[in-house]
Amino acid sequence: MKPNKNLLTIIAIAIFIISIGVIYGLNMSKISKQTLNLNTIYQPIIPELFSKEKKLVPKSSNLSVYDSLEIDEKIYKSLPIFEIYNNKIPILMYHSISYEKGNSLRVSKENFRLQMKYLKDNNYTPITVDELYNYMQTGKIAPKKPIVITFDDGYKDNYTNAYPILKEFKFKATIFVITNTIDKDINYLTSNEIKSMDSNNIRIESHTVAHEHLDEISYKDDLITMKASKEKLEKILNRKIYYIEYPYGGYNDNVIKAAKESSYKLAFSTKFGLIDKNDNIYSLGRIFVNSNFTFDEFKSKLNPKK
């Protein structure tokens, strides 16, 4: 009996189809195993910074300094702190808050209040010089928009005019005082005024004994005035003095050496500039608030064009 050609053809086709199915199944099984291995090997690694990013946000919006946040040291080293928040810290430099037409050092009380209100309304947080030093040394996170408010010389109107406005906005500030004027000149602060402000968020620091040109006198004389002013303020306030502002903003290598020798931790100049933690801590720049500034000019100084 001859085999049916049609039947043989059908059987051959069936065997061929079954063979293809078996081969396909085996290949898919191998691919699945390889995919599993690849997923295991190339599983995404979440950077430590992002896995802990919740620690960068305080639970309370009332916190002014995030000292309570426990950020690992490796996070500080992996990303500069102010890449997270902002690039530079402005330090405002005032002198007198009073009235004298044509005198660039005397900002009117009304303009000063307007400027402080602008800072408040735009979420700036004034920090102390201690907090600034801590940031410069350790990279600890400061408020989102930190700012430092400073006054030079120690005029009486810092107490009568500026102080009430600073208290109104609950702002911190620093006054650099010429120590030989204390209790001796009616235009300058008294010991009692200094103590009152220092105990209420207005830090009192050194501006030398007699407002000397530090870069024009000897290293020995730099040491004398820096140490003497420091000692006098420490006696009045019963605490250590660690910060100084160079009169006229003048400094050189000997001035910086004398500041270090006198145990100052930070020193401020009058050169213009916003600062970051990479700046020299013995020649920090500031923004001079000129009484002739328009309000728009004041605002522009806080955010200079790069």
Q: What is the pLDDT of residue 111?
A: 96
Regarding whether 154 and 7 lie in a shared domain, the answer is no
Average per-residue pLDDT for the chain: 79
* pTM, 2 dp: 0.71
Report residue 179 as tokens.
């120590």
Question: What digits encode the pLDDT tens for the residues 160-190?
Answer: 999 999 999 999 999 999 999 999 999 999 9
Regarding whether 145 and 7 lie in a shared domain, the answer is no
Residue 278 placed within a domain: yes
Helix (H, G, I), strand (E, B) or coil at 66: coil
Regarding whether 267 and 164 lie in a shared domain, the answer is yes
Q: Is the pLDDT assigned to residue 2 strictly greater than 80?
A: no
If one counts the domains in the chain, the total is: 2
Q: What is the pLDDT of residue 67?
A: 28
pLDDT-derived band at 274, boundaries 50, 70, 90: confident
Regarding whether 287 and 169 lie in a shared domain, the answer is yes
Regarding whether 81 and 2 lie in a shared domain, the answer is no
pLDDT-derived band at 9, boundaries 50, 70, 90: low
Question: What digits encode the pLDDT tens for the residues 231-253?
Answer: 999 999 999 999 999 999 999 99
Distance of alpha carbon 249 from alpha carbon 179, whole angstroms: 17
Distance of alpha carbon 227 from alpha carbon 232, whole angstroms: 9
Q: What is the pLDDT of residue 57?
A: 29
Could you tell me which residue, 15 or 24, shows the higher pLDDT?
15
Question: What digits encode the pLDDT tens for the residues 125-159?
Answer: 999 999 999 988 887 766 889 999 999 999 999 99
Residue 193 placed within a domain: yes
Residue 64 placed within a domain: no
| CB 170 within 8 Å of CB 126 | no
Could you tell me which residue, 305 or 227, shows the higher pLDDT?
227
Residue 6 placed within a domain: yes
Share of the chain above pLDDT 90, in %: 62
Phi then psi dihedrals of residue 178, to 5 deg: -80, 115
Q: First-to-last CA distance in the chain?
A: 99
Regarding whether 278 and 147 lie in a shared domain, the answer is yes
Residue 244 one-letter amino acid: I
Task: List the CATH number of the domain containing 238.
Answer: 3.20.20.370
Residue 299 one-letter amino acid: K
Residue 291 placed within a domain: yes
Distance of alpha carbon 76 from alpha carbon 65, whole angstroms: 16
Regarding whether 137 and 195 lie in a shared domain, the answer is yes
At residue 164's C-alpha, the angle toward residues 181 and 177, to 5°, is 20
Average pLDDT over residues 296-305: 86
Distance of alpha carbon 49 from alpha carbon 119, whole angstroms: 31
Regarding whether 80 and 201 lie in a shared domain, the answer is yes
Residue 255 placed within a domain: yes
Regarding whether 8 and 153 lie in a shared domain, the answer is no
Question: What digits encode the pLDDT tens for the residues 65-122?
Answer: 222 222 223 322 333 333 334 468 999 999 999 999 889 999 999 999 999 999 999 9
Regarding whether 150 and 15 lie in a shared domain, the answer is no
Distance of alpha carbon 116 from alpha carbon 165, whole angstroms: 8
Q: What is the pLDDT of residue 27?
A: 53
The one-character DSSP state at 47 is P
- Cα 11 to the chain's mean position, in Å? 83
The boundaries of the domain holding residue 142 are 75-302
Residue 54 placed within a domain: no
Average pLDDT over residues 269-294: 90
Q: Strand ranges (DSSP E) for 123-207?
A: 125-126, 146-153, 173-177, 202-206
Distance of alpha carbon 26 from alpha carbon 82, whole angstroms: 56
Q: Is the pLDDT assigned to residue 48 strictly greater than 70?
A: no
Closest of 142, 44, 54, 49 to residue 90, by C-alpha: 142
Residue 52 placed within a domain: no
Regarding whether 160 and 28 lie in a shared domain, the answer is no
Residue 81 one-letter amino acid: I
Regarding whether 80 and 30 lie in a shared domain, the answer is no
